[in-house]
Every structure is written in C-alpha cells, then in structure tokens.
Amino acid sequence: MGAGFADRLAGAVERSGTPACVGLDPVLEKLPEGLRGGEPAAALEEFCLGVIRACRGMVGVMKPQSACFERYGSAGMRVLERVCHAAREAEMVVILDAKRGDIGFSAEHYASAAAGIGADAITLHGYMGMETVEPYLRAGLGVFVLVRTSNPGSDGVQGRRMEDGRSVAEMMADEVAGLGEQWMGAGGRSDVGAVVGATKSAEGRALRARMPRAWLLVPGYGAQGGTVDDVRALLDERRGGVVVNASRSVIYACGGKEWEGGVRAAAGKFAEELRGLAAPRPT
Amino acid sequence: MGAGFADRLAGAVERSGTPACVGLDPVLEKLPEGLRGGEPAAALEEFCLGVIRACRGMVGVMKPQSACFERYGSAGMRVLERVCHAAREAEMVVILDAKRGDIGFSAEHYASAAAGIGADAITLHGYMGMETVEPYLRAGLGVFVLVRTSNPGSDGVQGRRMEDGRSVAEMMADEVAGLGEQWMGAGGRSDVGAVVGATKSAEGRALRARMPRAWLLVPGYGAQGGTVDDVRALLDERRGGVVVNASRSVIYACGGKEWEGGVRAAAGKFAEELRGLAAPRPT
C-alpha cells in the first residue's frame, strides 16, 4: 500500500492537463534586473514566489533545486521552506530536488527535513541500496531514484556493463522496480519513481520496459536538448507516467520589468507542447 | 596540483598522533538529560560544542552529519555553521558528511554552501560521474566519494559484478583513483578520497590496491562492528592514508551530568586504540 504520492501526482497532472514540471533553480546573476539588488535570499524568494504565481493553474508540479537555496545557508533554507509552502498553497505537487542518499538513520532525518519544508517527494541516490530509500517512503514522501542522468560524464558510471549484460543504469532500474512493487498507489503507479534524462531516449525505452509502473521524472528537456519525441519513448503503456522538467527555458524567459508575464507565456508554451504527448506519434 | 586538503589532513593526523575522527551525529533523544529540554537546535549546538571541547587536542578530525542538523530546517543549518566554525577554531579538520551528488551547476552551489559553513571536505556520491565531483575540488574542498559502504543493503548495488569482473565498488574506486591523479597534494596523497566501510576489510584490501594514493574515510568502526584489524587492511604502503570515524561510541559515552568528561575519556580511548595502527600486526 503506497503513501499516496503516486496518486497525488496523477491528480496534479490530470488537473493541469500536462505533465509539465517547472524547475526552480534560481541563480542570482540570472534574475530579472529589478530583483538583483539587496539581500540574495530575499531576491530568490521574491523571484520564486513570482514564478509560482505565473505558473499557477497551468503547471501542476514544481521542482525546487535544493542546492540553489542551500548556497545561502540558513537564510536560503528559510526561503526554500516558504517557496515550498507557497507552491503547495497553489495546489502544486512539490518535488524537492535534493539528491540525498544515506543510511537509514540519516535518511530518516533527511526525510523529516523534506517533509517539514513541505515537499511531496524527493530525488535520491540509490548507490547505498534500496534500504536507504525506504525511510523516505515510510515518512510519507514519494521518491525519484537517479537511474540515468543526461550529463555527459554519467556514461563513465551509469553506461557501463554488468556481467549479466545489463548496464549499471538498468541494474538500478531493476532495483527501483523491485522496491516499487511494495509501494503501489491505487491508480496502478508506484510511489517509487526514477530520474531518467530526456536526452537518452534510446536507452530510455529499455529503462521504461524495466520499470513499467514507475513515475519517471525527466530532466533535460528544452534548454538541455531533449525533445517531445525523446519524452514519448518514456511513456508507459497507458501513455502517461512521466513528469517532464524544464527550468531555464521557463523561469528566465524574460529579464525585463514584465518578467512575470514572460514566465507565464513560457510556462504556457511548455505546458502546451507536452499536452499532445499522449497522442500517437505522427507517422 | 591539489587544493591543499590532503596535506592539511595529513597535518591534523600527525599533530594528534591518531587517525581518529569523531562523528557529530547528534540526535535529540540521545543527548545527556540536562540538554534535552528547550529548543532542539539550541540543544544540538550546546552538545556539539561540548563534544568539540572534550575532543580538543586529542582528535584532529570532526565529521558532522548534515542530516542531523538539516532536520531542524534553517535553525539547524545555523547551528551546523557554528559547530563547523568551532571545530576549525579548535584546529580540527572538518569533513561535512552530506553525501551530495548533482550536476556541475548544482554541485557548484553545494560546494559554495559547504565552504561557506567552514567545511574542509565533503562526502559525495559518484553515480553521476566524476565530472560532478570536480566542482568541489575547484572550490578548494577535499572530497570523499562513496565507494563501499557498510550497511547490509549496499550489497545489492555496490557488490554486483561488472562484465570485466570488477565489482561496482571496484569500478567506482578506479574512477576515484583516475580523478585523484589530477589532484595530488605535496605529501603524495590526493584530495580525492573515498569512503570504504571498516566492516568490509576483505574487499577493503582490494579497494586500497586500486586507490593507492587516496585518503580513505572509514565509517563502521566500534558500535558498527569494525575492528582495528579491519582498518589495518585499508592502510596504504606508508601505513597511513586512513581516517577512522566513530560516533555513537564516543559522543554518547556518558549520559549524566559529567557527560563532557565521559566524552573526553571515550575519545581518548578511541584515539589510543588507533594510535598503534601503523605498527605491524602482531603474529
């Protein structure tokens, strides 16, 4: 029996009509000019709250990048808390991109921290084994375990072959699917999801086959080169089960005074591009 | 040319005469009774500052567990900052046990955060490839990449075989050694270290052979079952190159009013046990 995340995510995608997820990766130097003066953490907060307002009603999922907030120490963490709560209030699902991974005892603390700031789910490393993933699920969070990432250097680890012919990423996918069976939601998808980059669609199809009931969180769309066709390769049998993240192409769409309107237009375009995803590929 | 961490660590081990490292993993329920009332973050701070005072002059390295502090949100992060600074002022080397792992852009933020709170080094996941480790080095931090951990569930990933006969952990060790060659300190050891659990000494010997010039951070000693002989298997050719962590067996040595004295006695015993490590094993 699941913790409810998989079903909550399905609801958010259904309500918005799109699997679009906007990544909150605020970097001071890239903020609209009018926000750049003053205290960094305050600028981050104003920006992120503006992005949430701009996306409200169009996009159902937000993915704050923990690193961008942690960079500003305890002040940054306070902002992260407020941003997560604002997204929840806007009826968005919040996936905290924190890429944690530690033994049970520490995992419980990380889970408690993530739940405390208002996250619905968290991204995780699985290198220490699936027992280190379970504490987050027991705390009521959904998880996305890193399986295949889209950065070039990942090939040196994730792309290597095991003695049974699987890649390291495929081995991790099987671990994810195994744990996921124990955490199924009512809607037939699991609270144990995976991160699979959009720029690896050839491999992505094989990974999806190994994780038929997992939600896939797909970074690498847009600015990083992933296309709608790359994402299509990752759909499950019901032509769903993906959440597609874009960050820079949406949140930095406009640097001027009317930046919130610019973000709104970019978010609408992004949401629309993915709306047709479930339709058969034109031949 | 290295960032200086490897040499700084060597200095700390030499000055204290022991590779002992004390893990700051404070959990509210386990604190001495007199500290448990009042605000959690304040209790954590008082406890950790007491442990640092108790260990001063006997132990050269402290390893705060980030999760224990993050659990208390921004207030916890402020305490972590103060604890790291106090350890630095006590002339200890600080290894932040944060087990981060993300692409370059986010890695830069995590590195900036770790350096900002006063860490000398940080623990990391290498699953996204060594390019995701480099930003920490460029920021002047030492790193310890997770290679082989001592939790039972880790076998399901780290213990599996690659097609070339290496284990996944050995593959990761080779990645660490490769990157490490580019970050050598003046003393002949690298700023790129590895985490190798003390309870895996049979495998540990093979991993050490693959990383002859790496500092190994060794958890699992004491309360978790690792022995001096397990650690001996991890020494390098110069009978050094390890830092051995104990946490619970030292910091919770005494729960009464005289807890600081209890920690001091336990830290002294721990430091002493490891002092003879460099001597040949009795036959």
- Chain A touched by B110 (CB under 8 Å): yes
Give the separation between CA A113 and CA B76, rounded to whole angstroms.
10
Give the separation between CA B269 and CA B211, rounded to whole angstroms.
29
Closest CA to A92 of A168, A172, A22: A22
The answer to whether the beta carbons of residues A102 and B62 sit under 8 Å apart is no
pTM: 0.96
Per-residue confidence (pLDDT) for residue B36, from 0 to 100: 86
Checking if the pLDDT of A15 tops 80, the result is: yes
Structure tokens at A214: 């997992």
What are the beta bridge partners of residue A193?
A144
Residue A3 pLDDT level (bands cut at 50, 70, 90)? low
Identify the DSSP state of A186. T
- ipTM confidence: 0.94
SS3 category, B32: coil
Tens-digit pLDDT profile for chain B (283 aa)?
Answer: 456 999 999 999 999 999 999 999 999 999 998 898 889 999 999 999 999 999 999 999 999 999 999 999 889 999 999 999 999 999 999 999 999 999 988 999 999 999 999 999 999 999 999 999 999 999 999 999 999 998 989 999 999 999 999 999 999 999 999 999 999 999 999 999 999 998 767 799 999 999 999 999 999 887 778 889 889 999 999 999 999 999 999 999 887 889 999 999 999 999 999 997 865 555 4
Residue B114's Cβ-side half-sphere holds a number of Cα atoms within 13 Å equal to 34
User: A24 to chain B: nearest residue by CA?
Assistant: B106
Instruction: Please give, rounded to a whole number of angstroms, the shortest distance from the CA of B16 to a CA of chain A.
Output: 28
Of A100, A103, A158, the CB nearest to B151: A103
B99 to A104: CB separation less than 8 angstroms, yes or no: no
In tens, the pLDDT along B20-65 reads 999 999 999 999 988 988 899 999 999 999 999 999 999 999 999 9
Residues contacting residue B224 through CB under 8 Å, at least 6 positions apart: B150, B198, B199
Q: Cβ of B143: how many Cβ atoms within 10 Å?
A: 31
How far is C-alpha B28 from the geometric centre of its chain's CA atoms?
21
Per-residue confidence (pLDDT) for residue B280, from 0 to 100: 53
Closest CA to B55 of B25, B21, B10, B84: B21
Closest CA to A21 of A77, A92, A72: A92
- Chain A touched by B217 (CB under 8 Å): no
Residues contacting residue A125 through CB under 8 Å, at least 6 positions apart: A99, A100, A101, A145, A146, B99, B101, B125, B127
User: What average pLDDT does the segment A86-97 reach?
Assistant: 97
Residue A34 pLDDT level (bands cut at 50, 70, 90)? confident
Q: Which of A117-126, A197-206, A246-255 has the lowest mean pLDDT?
A: A197-206
Per-residue confidence (pLDDT) for residue B3, from 0 to 100: 62
B102 to A67: CB separation less than 8 angstroms, yes or no: yes
User: What average pLDDT does the segment A114-131 reach?
Assistant: 97
The answer to whether the beta carbons of residues A36 and A74 sit under 8 Å apart is no
Per-residue confidence (pLDDT) for residue A159, from 0 to 100: 95
Per-residue confidence (pLDDT) for residue A91, from 0 to 100: 95
**Percent of chain A surpassing pLDDT 90:** 84
Per-residue confidence (pLDDT) for residue B223, from 0 to 100: 74
Give the separation between CA B201 and CA A169, rounded to whole angstroms.
27
Instruction: Please give, rounded to a whole number of angstroms, the shortest distance from the CA of A23 to a CA of chain B.
Output: 12
Identify the DSSP state of A282. P
Q: Characterise A123 by phi-psi region: left (phi > 0), alpha (psi -120 to 50), beta (else).
A: beta
- The residue count of chain A comes to 283
In tens, the pLDDT along A160-214 reads 999 999 999 999 999 999 999 999 999 999 999 999 998 767 799 999 999 999 9
Mean pLDDT of chain A: 93
